[in-house]
Amino acid sequence: MTTVIDGKQVAASVIDAVKTASQALTEQTGVKTGLAVVIVGNDSASHAYVSSKSKMAKECGFTSVQHTLPEETTQEELATLVQTLNRDESLHGILVQLPLPKHLNSEPIIQSILPEKDVDGLHVVNAGKLATGDLDGGLVSCTPAGAMVFVKRTHGEDLSGLNAVVIGRSNLFGKPMAQLLLAANATVTIAHSRTKDLASVCRNADILVAAVGRPEMVKADWVKPGATVIDVGINRVAAPEKGEGKSRLVGDVAFEECAKVAAVITPVPGGVGPMTIAMLMANTVIAAYRKAGKAAPKF
Ligand SMILES: NC(=O)c1ccc[n+]([C@@H]2O[C@H](COP(=O)([O-])OP(=O)(O)OC[C@H]3O[C@@H](n4cnc5c(N)ncnc54)[C@H](OP(=O)(O)O)[C@@H]3O)[C@@H](O)[C@H]2O)c1
């Protein structure tokens, strides 16, 4: 029997743990966890993401601050806002929603966020801590952290003896995912667009993670029987069966056929997706515990 992971349910369990941790911190120290979310411009998808993040922060009992800046905001204005948020003692997490409008350079903005408030885990200090195996000192990028919750709930904390293949080498997902798997003792291969015979590389994987952005690229004969398959891809494809001009979301994994071979698999939508926001909340409460000089909870 194949297990299809219910990402919404796992995300809800993480959110419950965040609420409990946040409440306990307030009871013990009087500190209320605070998250600031910054959005620039008019991108409607980004606005939808940001409002669900702000809403979830409120649900978790956090102080939730949203800064909505106009499209014509300058680099200096945005940089000044980040400095103000860095100095604000009531805020433990700062998230600048990406992508920024084209005239803005996101990299110096992200790197100007204090690493201890970088709840997106994109600062080089946090990337460096992960790369050197310091999982307790830094903040890990939310989507790989969420995918890793699935892996650990399936295989336990120690992945010794297991082969993991991550398809994709982005700074946002592929590299941090590979480092998390390595830190848990898996034997890790990172595959990408220049990998030779990708199918046979994947067939070696006890844990196969796909983060490519190509609809249903991973086929059943790429999957080792009994493997755990984590699909990170989010691709919108035409769905004429739903009516003219309609579309649907699919992952990087051909779900129906791969589910017949895998032991555990994530669907799209409803798999990794809901975990990203849950781990953002987890990172924020972790940051608040550390600032209060308390041992941070684990998720
Ligand atoms: N919240 C979420 O659920 C969430 C969060 C982040 C990302 N995603 C989704 O995950 C997917 C990947 O995101 P990303 O930001 O990592 O994307 P990205 O920066 O575009 O990276 C894609 C990676 O896939 C590799 N690749 C492209 N074509 C390939 C091929 N034919 N064979 C093997 N590898 C190939 C690329 O290799 P090269 O490096 O050689 O070019 C690259 O390393 C996207 O669908 C994105 O929407 C979802």
What's the gap in Å between 1 CA and the centre of ligand 1?
A: 29
pLDDT band at 159 (very low <50, low <70, confident <90, very high): very high
Residues 233, 147 within the same domain: yes
Instruction: Say whether both 111 and 197 belong to one domain.
Output: no
- On whether residue 292 sits in a domain, the answer given is yes
| 120 in catalytic set | yes
CA of 24 to the centre of ligand 1 (A): 38
Total number of domains constituting the chain: 2
Give a yes or no: residue 50 inside a domain: yes
Give the pLDDT confidence score for residue 278 in this predicted structure: 98
Quote the pLDDT of residue 170.
97
pLDDT at 200: 98
Distance in Å, CA 172 to ligand 1 centroid: 9
One domain, residues 55 and 152: no
Ligand 1 within 6 A of 234 CB? yes
| Confidence (pLDDT) at 21 | 98
pLDDT at position 4 = 98
Within-domain flag for 72: yes
Q: Is 53 among the catalytic positions?
A: yes
* Per-residue pLDDT, 221: 98
261: in domain: yes
Domain check: are 260 and 285 in the same one? Answer: no
The pairing of beta strand 235-238 with beta strand 163-167: unpaired
CA pair distance 68, 45, nearest whole angstrom? 14
Tell whether 174 and 202 lie within a shared domain. Answer: yes
CATH code: domain of residue 258: 3.40.50.720
Query: Candidates 173, 197, 200: which one to mutate for ligand 1, based on the most atoms within 8 Å of Cβ?
Result: 173
232 in contact with ligand 1, CB cutoff 6 A: yes
Same domain as 84, residue 168: no
User: Hey, which of 232, 277, 281 would you mutate to test ligand 1's pocket, going by the most ligand atoms within 8 Å of its Cβ?
Assistant: 232
Q: What are phi and psi of 192, to 5 degrees?
A: -155, -170
Question: Is 7 contained in some domain?
Answer: no
Kindly state whether residues 205 and 236 are assigned to the same domain. yes
With the most atoms of ligand 1 within 8 angstroms of its CB, the residue from 53, 192, 197 to mutate is: 192
SS3 at position 1? coil
pTM: 0.97
Confidence (pLDDT) at 129: 98
Shared domain check, 259 and 284: no
Q: Is residue 176 one of the residues assigned to a domain?
A: yes
Read off the pLDDT of residues 104-143 as tens digits, 9 standing for 90 and up.
999 999 999 999 999 999 999 999 999 999 999 999 999 9
219-278 confidence digits (pLDDT tens):
999 999 999 999 999 999 999 999 999 999 999 999 999 999 999 999 999 999 999 999
Task: Give the list of residues 6+ apart from residue 33 with CB closer than 8 angstroms, or none.
Answer: 22, 25, 26, 60, 61, 62, 63, 92, 93, 284, 285, 288
- Tell me, yes or no, whether 35 lies in a domain: yes
Same domain, 208 and 259: yes
Looking up residue 72, the CATH number of its domain turns out to be 3.40.50.10860
Active-site residue, selected from the candidate residues 97, 118, 252, 291: 97
Q: How confident is the model at residue 70 (pLDDT cuts 50, 70, 90)?
A: very high
Find the catalytic residue in 118, 120, 231, 252. Answer: 120
Q: What is the pLDDT of residues 51-68, one digit of tens each?
A: 999 999 999 999 999 999
Is residue 14 domain-resident? no
Clarify whether residues 212 and 252 are in a common domain: yes
**Span 171-229, pLDDT tens digits:** 999 999 999 999 999 999 999 999 999 999 999 999 999 999 999 999 999 999 999 99
Q: Are 189 and 164 in contact (CB under 8 A)?
A: yes
Q: Using an 8 Å Cβ cutoff, are 15 and 58 in contact?
A: no
Q: Identify whether residues 150 and 211 lie together within a single domain.
A: yes
Residue 102 has a pLDDT of 97
Cα-to-centroid distance, 175 and ligand 1 (Å): 11
Enclosing domain of residue 50: 29-115+279-299
* Domain co-membership, 146 together with 246: yes
